[in-house]
Amino acid sequence: MKCVGMLYRTALIVFTLGAIAAAQNPTDLSARPISNEAVFADFKDRVRGYTENRETIESDMPALSKQATAEAIAAHKAALLKSVLAARKGAVRGQIFTPEAEKAIRTIIATHYSGRDSMELRKEVAEAENKTVPVKVNAVYPEAAELLEMPAKLLLALPELPKQVRYRFVGNNLLIVDRENHLIVDYMTNALP
């Protein structure tokens, strides 16, 4: 009888220790933090989704001839923008800059721009003549507004974008802008440290 009691106590101790270990090291993947690698892979897939969709829309349009006039090029560009906007109807902020991507990108920017560097970056962004840019998804970045070039060290640290889009700062916001039609694809707020 003593053996059975000892067996029950041992089993209870093993069970309790197992429960404590499970609570300290959850196996539920939703409880674990997502790695930056996974976050940036998702971010790049979302950007690629936009660029592939835009490329498909453009390939379905009549091609421009090599002797196209400025008016024909402008008309083609306007038709492409109209088609892309129609395809993106209902697009909202955060479809590319997910909360996880925003957090990881803010960390990168803060890591590369701290102290004096941060103040210089904020000053450069504040002095840019792009305050009239409407910061919203599917708005068009005005061609007359200054295109503030991203610092090289920041471009090297941020997730690489396909050639069809680029990063842009407007105020404290980081935008993804289509290079050809100047469409604001998505943006994140409070990007600067």
Report domain extents, the chain.
36-188
Kindly give the residue spans of alpha helices, DSSP state H, lying in the chain. Answer: 2-24, 36-59, 70-87, 99-112, 116-127, 152-157
Kindly give, in sequence order, each residue whose CB lies less than 8 Å from that of residue 160, ignoring residues fewer than 6 positions away.
Answer: 44
Residues paired with residue 173 on neighbouring β-strands, in sequence order? 170
Residue 74 pairs in a beta bridge with none
d(CA 158, CA 109): 8
Distance of CA 164 to the CA centre of its chain: 15
Structure tokens at 19: 């429960």
The pLDDT tens digits of the residues spanning 143-176 come to 888 777 788 888 889 999 999 999 999 988 999 9
The two structure tokens encoding residue 166: 């680029």
**Inter-residue contact 83 to 56 (CB < 8 Å):** no
The chain-wide mean pLDDT, for the chain, equals 82
In terms of average pLDDT, the best of 4-8, 26-30, 120-124 is 120-124
How many beta carbons lie within 10 A of that of residue 185, not counting itself?
A: 24
Kindly report the pTM of this predicted structure.
Answer: 0.77
Q: Which amino acid is at 133?
A: V
